[in-house]
Structure 1
Amino acid sequence: MTDILVQQAYSERTAEYTSALGAIDQMHALDQHRIGRWAELIGGRVLDAGCGPGHWTDFLHRRGVDVSGIDLVAEFVDGACRRFPDVTFQVSSLRHIDAADGGLKGVLAWYSLIHVPPTELPTILSELSRVLAPQGHLLIGFFEGDSAEPFDHAITTAYYWSVEQMTSLLHSAGFDVIDVETRQDSGSRPHAAISAIAR
């Protein structure tokens, strides 16, 4: 049910979202640096899980990464295929990723977990763990705050997570956290990023 609500909410505002947040030059320079540096660690297939308009997927592709993108919203996937024809995109839920156990070397989940209800997040993280090879790399970005506290995101309900609680959830799902970044930009919600490896 949650997937359907999120899908509908983004489907209705795909063009607006892509215009506002669908290009790399609209992304924070520190995020570009972090994701680019993260990609240098990975020698193998990478999934942009919840790729949205596809700009981060293309960002990785242009750096020579073997990357594909998935998203729940067909309109995002259609737009990404048109804008970035050299990159593979497909419609998929993060709950059932079309990849073999241990078939990936990296997963980027950049602000794609923010709408997952707290009771369902462990299931999603376990699925990300399933598709990653041992020592595979995960990088997630999210809004930092009181764990599981909902807020009125511009598209649909989203949730804050503390670094401590997200670290605990990742550990339970089979990950070891290796790096954490937080920042507070003027006029924006607090940001956090966690890099982890699959055990």
Structure 2
Amino acid sequence: MSGLIGINIGMTSIFLKNGENVPCTIIQVGPCYITQIKTIENDGYSSIQLGVDDKKIKKTNKSLFNHFKKAGLSPKKKLLEFRVNKISNFILGNSININFFKEGEFVHVKGISKGKGFQGVIKRHNFSGVGERTHGQHNRLRAPGSIGAGSDPSRVFKGKKMAGKMGKKNVTVKNLKILKIDSDQNFLILKGSVPGNKNSYLMIQKKEWN
């Protein structure tokens, strides 16, 4: 298995042994429970489904409630799937805690980035705009300008950088170093920042060395 599910607690900074102060992110990891085991015979591939955070029964529909009941677990808020090579190492309903990771390892963190809403080209694509109010340019400072020729091709090409919704996309930040592990509180302290808001769910995967 490659990883676990975590919750973004927030950012802080810590001092290393050499006195360097580095920014880091605190992530609460697990305990994650095995809610489903998929096999090549039944599903065409082998993987395990992990769940985290208890969910109220009255907010769970019948099909999902029975899904968790098969594993002998209470309903979970977040479910994610991880590919595995040997499913014989896992038992349905068991938990996997933060000791799955080790200090000094590198991980990839995947999450949904913060939503910025509808933004213009200056903020969304780092356009420079006109720059100065010269020659009567009183309302063109943050405008996108021309978006294409007229007669030929008589259309706007796909992928043109224009205003639109910004953020709220799947983002993966790679090669974040595990600085410290707090097993008592299930805290994973990573060097650097991760995508998403506070209290958002994250997929934390071990780096696979070639």
TM-score by length of 1: 0.25
Higher relative CO (Cα under 8 Å, sequence separation at least 6) belongs to 2
TM-score by length of 2: 0.24
Q: Which has the higher strand share?
A: 2
